[in-house]
């Protein structure tokens, strides 16, 4: 049991770790000051959630690794985040679209995890859900505002959606780890989260005057760790640099 559980916790924690890192790349260069502050808020929430998920993962694993050891000392193939969150920031529209798609999945996932048979998971989900509900409100407003804004902002948001939509499917693919989690009542079947996601996505895209791509083709390989994108390695080379260069230092 502990191995699939460890995998599952890494998936949750790596999603927030990688996305939190991406969002933090915006520090100081957002389109308006209010967005600088809001993006930092989102990143801070995600980093906080990462600490909870990965510390628990380390505990479950029982090899003495904590959240920092997992975040800063694993290589690409050991990461279990979905491909969506490691995609580069692109322009502000792409960052917001990525965040919106993730928030919408994340909210559904956390809502279900509140009823987890695993008490610590339920507690982390409950705490995270408050933050993520707020993230989703904000990104929904932004996607609608920019989609239904000027011609330029509309086109940029449509491009962002087209670019990122092939990464949506992976969030809902079930595999052996998910089956094991379902069997224990620890986590839901990701596939079951899709209908509510689709319904809300259609509503928001309609308000945003954006068109959902017709192809449901989905890239895979992030959450299984089998094939990440090239982007993740570059992120890690920056994120992990100090820990790797000075392995015996404490910070």
Partner 1 sequence: MYAQMIKSTGKGVKSLDEMDPEERAFQERINAGGKIEPKDWMPDGYRKTLIRQIGQHAHSEIVGQLPEGNWITRAPTLERKAILLAKVQDEAGHGLYLYCAAETLGVSRDQLTRDLLSGKMKYSSIFNYPTLTWADMGAVGWLVDGAAIMNQVPLQRTSYGPYARAMVRICKEESFHQRQGFDIMMKMANGNEAQRKMAQDALNRFWYPSLMMFGPSDKESVHSAQSMAWKIKMNTNDELRQKFVDQTAPQAAYLGLTIPDEHLEWNEERGSYDFSEPDWEEFFDVLQGNGPCSVDRMEARNKAWDDGRWVREGLLAHAEKKRARKMAAE
CB 187 within 8 A of CB 197: no
By CB under 8 A, is residue 59 in contact with partner 1? no
Q: Which listed range, 103-111, 146-154, 166-174, 192-200, lies at the site for partner 1 (CB under 8 A)? A: 146-154
- 56, burial (CB in 10 Å: exposed 0-12, middle 13-18, buried 19+): buried
Region of residue 62 (phi > 0: left; psi between -120 and 50: alpha; otherwise: beta): left
By CB under 8 A, is residue 93 in contact with partner 1? yes
Q: Which of 94, 97, 107, 73 is nearest to 243 (CA)?
A: 73
Nearest distance, CB of residue 69 and partner 1, angstroms: 10
* Residue 148 DSSP code: T
Distance CA 245, CA 240 (A): 9
Sign of the C-alpha dihedral, residues 167, 171, 175, 176? positive
Q: Six-digit token pair at 241?
A: 């640099």
Nearest distance, CB of residue 119 and partner 1, angstroms: 23
One character per residue 101-130, x = contact with partner 1 (rule: CB under 8 A): ------------------------------
By CB under 8 A, is residue 41 in contact with partner 1? yes
Q: Which of 104, 103, 98, 81 is nearest to 14 (CA)?
A: 81
User: Contact with partner 1 (CB under 8 A): which of 129, 145, 184, 212?
Assistant: 145
Nearest distance, CB of residue 91 and partner 1, angstroms: 7
Q: Which of 142, 140, 48 is nearest to 92 (CA)?
A: 142
Distance CA 146, CA 238 (A): 31
By CB under 8 A, is residue 44 in contact with partner 1? yes
C-alpha 165: how far from its chain's center?
A: 14
User: Contact with partner 1 (CB under 8 A): which of 60, 85, 146, 186?
Assistant: 146
One character per residue 191-230, x = contact with partner 1 (rule: CB under 8 A): ----------------------------------------
User: Contact with partner 1 (CB under 8 A): which of 1, 183, 191, 242?
Assistant: 242
User: Contact with partner 1 (CB under 8 A): which of 3, 75, 78, 91?
Assistant: 91
Q: Which listed range, 108-116, 169-177, 211-219, 233-241, lies at the site for partner 1 (CB under 8 A)? A: 233-241
By CB under 8 A, is residue 31 in contact with partner 1? yes
Distance CA 227, CA 111 (A): 28
Q: Which listed range, 65-73, 97-105, 165-173, 223-231, lies at the site for partner 1 (CB under 8 A)? A: 65-73
> Given the structure tokens 């909210």, which residue do they identify?
107
Is the Cβ of residue 100 or residue 197 nearer to partner 1 in the bound state?
A: 100
Q: Which listed range, 18-26, 56-64, 100-108, 163-171, lies at the site for partner 1 (CB under 8 A)? A: 18-26
By CB under 8 A, is residue 79 in contact with partner 1? no
Q: Six-digit token pair at 230?
A: 């090239």
């Amino acid at each position: 049991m502990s191995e699939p559980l460890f995998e599952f916790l890494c998936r949750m924690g790596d999603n927030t770790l990688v996305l939190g890192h991406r969002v933090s790349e915006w520090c100081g260069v957002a389109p308006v000051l209010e967005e600088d502050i809001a993006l930092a808020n989102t990143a801070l929430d995600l980093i906080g959630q990462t600490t909870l998920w990965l510390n628990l993962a380390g505990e479950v694993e029982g090899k003495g690794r904590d959240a920092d050891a997992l975040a800063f000392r694993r290589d690409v193939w050991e990461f279990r985040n979905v491909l969506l969150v490691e995609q580069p920031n692109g322009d502000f529209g792409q960052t917001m679209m990525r965040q919106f798609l993730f928030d919408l999945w994340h909210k559904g996932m956390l809502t279900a995890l509140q009823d987890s048979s695993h008490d610590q998971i339920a507690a982390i989900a409950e705490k995270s859900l408050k933050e993520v509900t707020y993230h989703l409100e904000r990104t929904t407003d932004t996607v609608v505002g920019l989609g239904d804004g000027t011609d330029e902002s509309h086109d940029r948001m449509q491009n962002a959606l087209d670019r990122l939509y092939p990464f949506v499917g992976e969030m809902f693919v079930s595999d052996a780890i998910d089956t094991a989690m379902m069997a224990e009542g620890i986590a839901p079947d990701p596939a079951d989260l899709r209908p509510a996601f689709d319904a809300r996505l259609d509503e928001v895209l309609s308000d945003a005057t954006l068109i959902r791509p017709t192809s449901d083709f989905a890239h895979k390989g992030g959450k299984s760790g089998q094939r990440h994108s090239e982007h993740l390695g570059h992120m890690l080379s920056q994120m992990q640099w100090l820990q790797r260069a000075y392995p015996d230092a404490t910070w």
